Structure 1
Amino acid sequence: MEHQQASYRLPRAHGPRVAVIGGGHGLANMLRGLKQYTENLAAVVTVADDGGGSGMLRQDLGMPPPGDIRNCMEALANTEPLMSELMRYRFTEGSLAGQSFGNLFLAALNGISPSFDVAVSRMSQVLAITGRVLPVTTADVRLEAEFENGASVIGESKIFYCKKKEDCRIRQVRLLPEHPKALPEALSAIREADMIVLGPGSLYTSIIPNLLVDGVAEAIQASDALKVYVCNVMTQEGETEGYTVSDHIAALFAHSVPGLFELCLTNSSPIPRDVAARYAREGAEPLYCDRDKCAAMGVEVIDRPIATVENGFVRHHPDHLARELILLHAERSVRIAGDRYDFRQNTSRVEGRRR
């Protein structure tokens, strides 16, 4: 299929309504790119984290973990450089060592707000973010993983170590308590979206926990939006060693419903040999795309050059990933006259075509 490589000059206020679902640094990275194309963004973010600074605040204050939420708000912030630097600052000494000021700021707002989602909304106003950041639920949830040998562990931060110890695949994960109530605004954002994007991020600890919240998978399934899963570039040590693209898709369907999405975006950029070798020493490798198995599950795989190497680590390039997602939306979505903005009719420059 022909693929247009284009750049757009268009009003972001008329951009597509995009709901992104996940957590971790991968989601925040993608949001940095998407906000250049549309103001109509909604990030639905997991709250199952219990490690690091977020885990400390969760344990000490009884609040949902702020880290993934904070990362997304920082990515979408439109503040002075000093404020951005302040939000990212991590203390290096004393009892606060390793803790982020942004986490503490959100914790303080949570203390003076009637609920965590209100605290997130207030911090979003302070940072003048583009779009919205929404916790998928405000319930106090824990993540439990069960392995193929029958072993299990409770706690998102413990899954990595338990998997290394058991040396077998994860069979399933579940939330405790099961089926927590979704934040109504999160479900509304999914229902109203023109495009729903799952990932990128850790399969079992960033993406799937959202699908286990009551109503989320059903809202995605019922939507007429374009649904895209952004697959990781590399397998993840302690979580998806030996996985292929179809393994990722199968796990997502098994924890939600078959056919939850129809498109899977993968990376076609080459990974430098020295970088791949370092990953291999840590038990990770470039994700193998078994396209036929994906097709058998009803998912079309689309390869695009969306990865880059940053400080020796393979990451999705925020600008390239966002551009490809916006192009996919323009190419695949059924355009409705009137209130929807037609990107194909407003392309400012087409730089060429390639297969």
Structure 2
Amino acid sequence: MMFGQKIIDYEKSIDDTKIVVIGGGTGLSTILRGLKAFTSNITAIVTVADDGGGSGVLRHDLGMIPPGDIRNCILALADTEPVMEELLQYRFKEGILKNQSFGNLFLAAMDGISENFMEAVRKMSYVLAVKGKVLPVSLDKITLKAKLKNGQIVSGESNIPKAVIESRSGIDSVFIEPKNAKALYEAVIAIREADIVILGPGSLYTSIIPNILVNEISDELYKTKAVKVYISNIMTQRGETDGYNVSEHINAILNHAGKDIIDYVIVNTGTIDKELEKRYLEEEASIVNFCEKEINNLNIKIIKGDFVKVKNEHVRHDADKISSVIMKNFIDI
């Protein structure tokens, strides 16, 4: 393991260290659960490009920012009883609310009694005693689009993987509309004042990159003096990163940011059992491999470890191990 440069001294407490985590989906909320065991000084900056599932329904019906990823991050950082989390994660099984999350409806109701979506997020965070902050990357209504390698343009975050699979053509690039979407001011300041900024893990093109397509975010990531760490995915994702290795993940981020915004990459060296690997291969997904030389050529330092955790037959990052590695490498604990 290659150890990073410590960013605080022994006279400074862990809670004085400002950590910003950027992404979306289950990957972001997973890492937040691990980090909150060490510190409450966490800010999550969350993509707002989601347009599928229950979030997509509320986005289209109510014209609100999609609440799903925000909800998951709030719950990840909340100090609440298990029954409350179970309630907020509950999905209705029938009727017009089928597949809708109660937590989404809760946040939608908060949005209805608030001046804007950010105020709704603050109110929900207060009610659930959140440790840290959860911030949408923007309050603009952002649509994610992709240009495939065959030249096809696909509109909508949820449509991109489907189009890749159907056309058998990979993603060339993604972009957002409006192109001049304005970053939430609090998100910009959080990056500017951060000691550590973490990208990922999560869906490369639909959870991580949409955040850095907001110009002020990529600009601040380039200018910040924080240590910038990318947590690479453990498995490839069908319709997004088929066959990608770690350096291809990194290059996609750097190409979309237009500048160098990664200092370290955390990569997985763990394996999964043959039966589970076979099931993933049947779904056209596999473990993300890495070549140290390729990553070193990008002037990015590598931190390696076995971070595999299997839950309900799905491969996830072990949030406790990842968080411990971050603390030990960059913070004196």
- Do they fold alike, i.e. is TM over 0.5? yes
Task: Please give the residue correspondences for 1:204-283 in structure 2 after superposition, counting only pairs within 5 Å.
Answer: 204-283=205-284
Quick check: 1:146–1:172 contact (8 Å CA) kept in 2? yes
Distance 2:53 2:16 in 1: 36
Distance 2:2 2:229 in 1: 19
1:163 partner SS: helix
Question: Which letter does structure 1 place at the counterpart of 2:266?
Answer: L
Question: Which letter does structure 2 place at the counterpart of 1:47?
Answer: V
The aligned counterpart of 1:96 is: 97
Task: Please give the residue correspondences for 1:1-355 in structure 2 after superposition, counting only pairs within 5 Å.
Answer: 1=1, 14-330=15-331, 343=332, 347=333
Deviates most, 94-103 or 303-312:
303-312
Q: Give every structure 1 segment of 4 or more consecutive aligned residues whose post-TM-superposition deviation is greater than 4 Å.
A: 1-4, 10-13
Q: Unaligned stretches of 5+ in structure 1?
A: 5-9, 331-342, 348-355
Q: Deviations over 1:225-253 (max 9, x none)?
A: 11100000010011100111111011000
Quick check: 2:3–2:329 contact (8 Å CA) kept in 1? no
**CA offset at residue 297 of structure 1?**
1.4
**CA offset at residue 3 of structure 1?**
6.2
Deviates most, 304-313 or 23-32:
304-313
Q: Deviations over 1:297-338 (max 9, x none)?
A: 1112221121211111110011111111111212xxxxxxxx
**CA offset at residue 270 of structure 1?**
1.7
Quick check: 2:222–2:259 contact (8 Å CA) kept in 1? no
**CA offset at residue 85 of structure 1?**
1.7
Q: Unaligned stretches of 5+ in structure 2?
A: 5-10
Distance 1:2 1:153 in 2: 40
**CA offset at residue 160 of structure 1?**
1.1
Distance of aligned partners of 1:196 and 1:244 in 2 relative to their CA distance in 1, 3 Å threshold: same
2:126 partner SS: helix
**CA offset at residue 167 of structure 1?**
1.0
Q: Deviations over 1:98-144 (max 9, x none)?
A: 10010000000001111111111110001101100000000001000
Distance 1:117 1:216 in 2: 17
**CA offset at residue 16 of structure 1?**
2.0
The aligned counterpart of 2:7 is: none
Distance of aligned partners of 1:102 and 1:12 in 2 relative to their CA distance in 1, 3 Å threshold: farther
2:189 partner SS: helix
Distance 1:2 1:110 in 2: 45
1:243 partner SS: coil
**CA offset at residue 258 of structure 1?**
3.2
Distance of aligned partners of 1:135 and 1:11 in 2 relative to their CA distance in 1, 3 Å threshold: same
Distance 2:59 2:273 in 1: 39
2:215 partner SS: coil
Quick check: 1:259–1:297 contact (8 Å CA) kept in 2? no
**CA offset at residue 179 of structure 1?**
2.5
Distance 2:242 2:227 in 1: 29
**CA offset at residue 158 of structure 1?**
0.3
2:276 partner SS: helix
Distance 2:227 2:71 in 1: 27
Quick check: 1:109–1:122 contact (8 Å CA) kept in 2? yes
Distance 2:90 2:312 in 1: 20
1:303 partner SS: strand
Question: Which letter does structure 2 place at the counterpart of 1:200?
Answer: P
Distance 2:17 2:330 in 1: 8
**CA offset at residue 257 of structure 1?**
2.8
Distance 1:227 1:81 in 2: 33
TM-score where L is the length of structure 1: 0.89
Distance of aligned partners of 1:285 and 1:2 in 2 relative to their CA distance in 1, 3 Å threshold: closer
Distance 1:97 1:121 in 2: 27
The alignment covers a number of residue pairs equal to 327
Distance 2:90 2:285 in 1: 30
